[in-house]
C-alpha cells in the first residue's frame, strides 16, 4: 500500500508540473468525517481485565483526499484518501490512547458536471491500521495480562477493505476553485486480522475487520 501511495504522489506532482501541457486538474479536500468501527471483541477483553476500553461505534476521523485526472476521459479520476483518529480515556489510573488510520486509493467517475454541481461515485481499496497503548505504571497480574510494566501495546495492522463511495460537490465561486460537499462510503472487509498484544496474538478474542461506513463534509480547492 505504501508503494502505491508513493507512486500516486509522484504521478500527482509530475502532472501538476505539466498542467498546461496535459490539461491536468487536481482537487485537494479536507473532510471532517465520522466512521464506525466494531471494537466489541477487544473491549470485552479489556473490561474483563479491568482496563480502559477503546472508543467503539461512530468515531471522529478527520480526513484529507487528493483527486487527480490523468485520463483523456475527463469524467474519470483517481483518488487518495487518508483518515486518522486519536482519542484518550482513563480508568483505574490507567491511560489509554487509541490511534486509527485509514488509507485508500482508487478510481471514480463524475456522473453530473454542470451548473457548478458535481456528483460522483467510485471504488477504492484500503487498509485500517489500529493501535491502542495503555500506560500502566504498576505491574499487572490479572489472568489475561501477565507481568506488564509501563505500556501495554495492542495493535491490528492488516485490515484490508474495498470501499464503495459517493459524493456531491458544489462550487461556491464562478471559477470553481472552492467547493463544499458531502462524502459517503461503505467499507467491505476482505480479511480478518488478529489483535496483537505486545506483538503476541490474542487468539482468545474475536478477530477484527474493516467493515463499516463513513460520512463527512468536504471542503475542497482546485
Model confidence pLDDT, tens digit, residues 164-188: 999 999 999 888 889 999 999 999 9
Section 20-41 average pLDDT: 80
Using pLDDT thresholds of 50, 70 and 90, give the confidence band for residue 215: very high
Q: What is the pLDDT of residue 135?
A: 87
Q: What is the pLDDT of residue 144?
A: 46
More confident residue, 203 or 77: 77
Q: What is the pLDDT of residue 177?
A: 87
For Cα atoms 141, 147, 148, give the angle at the middle one, nearest 5 degrees.
105
Stretch among 5-14, 76-85, 183-192 having the lowest mean pLDDT? 5-14
Catalogue the E-assigned strands of 2-145.
26-31, 33-37, 57-60, 63-68, 76-91, 94-114, 117-141
Section 99-111 average pLDDT: 96
Q: What is the pLDDT of residue 157?
A: 87
Give SS3 for 188: strand
Give the number of other Cβ atoms within 10 Å of residue 63's Cβ: 23
CA pair distance 112, 123, nearest whole angstrom: 17
Highest mean pLDDT of the ranges 2-6, 60-64, 136-140, 170-174: 60-64
More confident residue, 219 or 176: 219
Section 127-146 average pLDDT: 71
Q: What is the pLDDT of residue 141?
A: 45
**Is residue 51's pLDDT more than 50?**
yes
Q: What is the pTM of this model?
A: 0.80
Q: What is the pLDDT of residue 100?
A: 95
Q: What is the pLDDT of residue 108?
A: 97
We find that the CATH architecture of domain 2-16+26-221 is Beta Barrel (2.40)
- The C-alpha cell of 45 is what? 477483553
CA pair distance 47, 134, nearest whole angstrom: 13
Using pLDDT thresholds of 50, 70 and 90, give the confidence band for residue 102: very high
| Sign of the dihedral defined by the CA atoms of residues 180, 79, 123, 110, in that order | positive
What DSSP character marks residue 75? T
- The C-alpha cell of 143 is what? 489472568
Q: Please state the separation of Cα 12 from the chain's center in Å.
A: 20
Using pLDDT thresholds of 50, 70 and 90, give the confidence band for residue 138: low
What is the chain's mean pLDDT, rounded? 84
Q: How far apart are the first and last CA of the chain?
A: 26
Amino acid at each position: 500500500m505504501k508503494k502505491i501511495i508513493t507512486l500516486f504522489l509522484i504521478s500527482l506532482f509530475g502532472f501538476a508540473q505539466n498542467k498546461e501541457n496535459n490539461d491536468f486538474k487536481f482537487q485537494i479536500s479536507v473532510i471532517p468525517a465520522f466512521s464506525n468501527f466494531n471494537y466489541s471483541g477487544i473491549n470485552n477483553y479489556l473490561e474483563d481485565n479491568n482496563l480502559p476500553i477503546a472508543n467503539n461505534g461512530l468515531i471522529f476521523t478527520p480526513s484529507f483526499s487528493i483527486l487527480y485526472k490523468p485520463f483523456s476521459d475527463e469524467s474519470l479520476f483517481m483518488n487518495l484518501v487518508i483518515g486518522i483518529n486519536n482519542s484518550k480515556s482513563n480508568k483505574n489510573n490507567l491511560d489509554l490512547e487509541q490511534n486509527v488510520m485509514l488509507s485508500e486509493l482508487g478510481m471514480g467517475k463524475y456522473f453530473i458536471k454542470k451548473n457548478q454541481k458535481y456528483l460522483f461515485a467510485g471504488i477504492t481499496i484500503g487498509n485500517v491500521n489500529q493501535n491502542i497503548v495503555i500506560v500502566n505504571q504498576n505491574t499487572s497480574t490479572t489472568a489475561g495480562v501477565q507481568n506488564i510494566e509501563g505500556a501495554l501495546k495492542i495493535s491490528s495492522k492488516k485490515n484490508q477493505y474495498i470501499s464503495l463511495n459517493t459524493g456531491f460537490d458544489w462550487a461556491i465561486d464562478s471559477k470553481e476553485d472552492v467547493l463544499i460537499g458531502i462524502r459517503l462510503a461503505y467499507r467491505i472487509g476482505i480479511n480478518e486480522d488478529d489483535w496483537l498484544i505486545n506483538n503476541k496474538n490474542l487468539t482468545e478474542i474475536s478477530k477484527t475487520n474493516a467493515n463499516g461506513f463513513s460520512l463527512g463534509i468536504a471542503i475542497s480547492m482546485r
